[in-house]
Amino acid sequence: MEKDQRLSLSLVFNLVLALEKTRACTVPVLLQVQRELLDYHGTGISVMEMSHRSPEFMKIVTDAQQNIRHLL
């Protein structure tokens, strides 16, 4: 394993431990985030690469707005 890979795994492991202590996120949620970081819902691209006008991104915005309204 290369140094960069070890560092990445170490950072992920430390993040998981920190979040697990606070219960902000569970390990399955973090693993889903990791999987979707480079390929959001099978689109082949990350959210950061999406057009802000694409249907996929607009769904993210709409869902986030609904979740915020629900929480408020």
- Is the pLDDT at 23 greater than 80? The verdict is no
Q: How many CB atoms lie within 10 A of CB 20?
A: 13
- Is the pLDDT at 53 greater than 90? The verdict is yes
With a pLDDT cut of 90, the percent of the chain lying above it is 28
Rounded distance, CA 51 to CA 16, Å? 30
For the whole prediction, is pTM greater than 0.85?
Answer: no
